Amino acid sequence: MELIRGFNSIRDRHKGCVATIGAFDGVHLGHQAVLQQLMAKGRELGLPTTVVVFEPLPREFFSPHEAPPRLMSFRERFHALRELGIDQIMRIRFSASFREMGAMEFIRKLFVDGIDAKYIVVGDDLRFGRDRSGGFGMLKAAGQTYGFEVVDTATLTQGNERVSSTRIREVLAEANFSEAERLLGRPYSIAGRVIVGQQLGRTLGVPTANMELHRLRSPLAGVFAVEVECPDGVIRPGVANVGTRPTVDNLPKAILEVHVLDYSGNLYRRNIKVLFRKKLRNEIRFDGLDALKTQIHRDIDEARNYFAERGDA
């Protein structure tokens, strides 16, 4: 899959495609249904598929402290779309100047002069352009003028409930990981590169792999029994903390720390994936490192018991 980094990066090879636009946060089963529809049309017309996304997401730009937590970083979303078979992802930087672009100007710049879309599938609640003045009707009318087809997406439901990123955030806040997996079509996970931290965990006898979350807010907080997909491809049990480490340094933004049980390999600067299985407790502030160390070992014991009951250990 190729990444198109904004309007100025569009080349002739990117033009003439079938396209969709949206947040696609989580790339859940509802998104996957839309993308399968898009790819089927691409095969029918013999054209590549293009997914258009914004960075940051518009709600993050307008209200960064009130925007909903992201299910995925951009990198995770990129890899999920690539695994599904999407050919191109176009990332548009949402900025103060971009938000002033008129709706028709946006249509012409993106879909006509830009990627020259022949078929566009979008939600009928789509809003775009200055003051959110553009919508599905305007895009469909523009298609008749410029020669592209516009269709709306069918809402995917499971058990009379709409599959949505909002619903997934709700069940993650409740630590209902089985329901999140049902809506996503896969276990909820966070993936990324392990950074070099303060190595405090090593001094406490529980070395951790630390990851930046690359999002303004996390949909999860607390201590969890997890599975870790290590660089060697083996999935191992572990314990993860998602939070600000109030006992140690009370970070301004949450990070993910994971201790892989019975693992001695070096994970620094390697990519791992953490799959969340069960919430053990909330993150709390302890009266010193000794109390924190005691609780960490209790968490490890509880995680071991959880995986033993599942038959994984």
Tens-level pLDDT at each residue, the chain (313 residues) = 999 999 999 999 999 999 999 999 999 999 999 999 999 999 999 999 999 999 999 889 999 889 999 999 999 999 999 999 999 999 999 999 999 999 999 999 999 999 999 999 998 788 999 989 999 999 999 999 999 999 998 766 776 778 899 999 999 999 999 999 999 999 999 999 999 866 666 667 788 999 999 998 899 999 999 999 999 999 999 999 999 876 666 676 889 999 999 998 889 999 999 999 999 999 888 888 888 888 999 999 999 999 999 876 5
Q: What is the CATH number of the domain that holds 99?
A: 3.40.50.620
Asked whether residue 137 falls in the same domain as residue 228, the answer is no
294: phi then psi, degrees, rounded to nearest 5:
-60, -45
Q: What is the pLDDT of residue 85?
A: 97
Q: What is the pLDDT of residue 249?
A: 67
Q: What is the CATH number of the domain that holds 198?
A: 2.40.30.30
Asked whether residue 228 falls in the same domain as residue 280, the answer is yes
- Decide which of 137, 158, 179 is a domain's last residue: 158
Domain span at 90: 2-158
C-alpha span between 189 and 79 (Å, rounded): 13
- Number of domains observed in the structure of the chain: 2
Place of tokens 């953490």: 274
In a domain, 167, yes or no: no
Asked whether residue 13 falls in the same domain as residue 72, the answer is yes
Task: For Cα atoms 286, 289, 294, give the angle at the middle one, nearest 5 degrees.
Answer: 80
Q: What is the pLDDT of residue 254?
A: 86
Asked whether residue 153 falls in the same domain as residue 193, the answer is no
Q: What is the pLDDT of residue 313?
A: 52
Q: Are 171 and 180 in contact (CB under 8 A)?
A: yes
Asked whether residue 298 falls in the same domain as residue 206, the answer is yes
Secondary structure in 3-state letters for 124-137: CCCEECHHHCEEHH
Asked whether residue 14 falls in the same domain as residue 150, the answer is yes
User: What does the buried/exposed string (b/e) look like for 243-269 if buried means 16 or more CB atoms within 10 Å of the residue's CB?
Assistant: bbbebeeeeeebbbbbbbbeeeeebee
Q: What is the pLDDT of residue 28?
A: 95
Asked whether residue 197 falls in the same domain as residue 68, the answer is no
pTM of model > 0.75: yes
In a domain, 288, yes or no: yes
SS3 content of the chain, % helix, strand, coil (to 5): 35, 25, 40
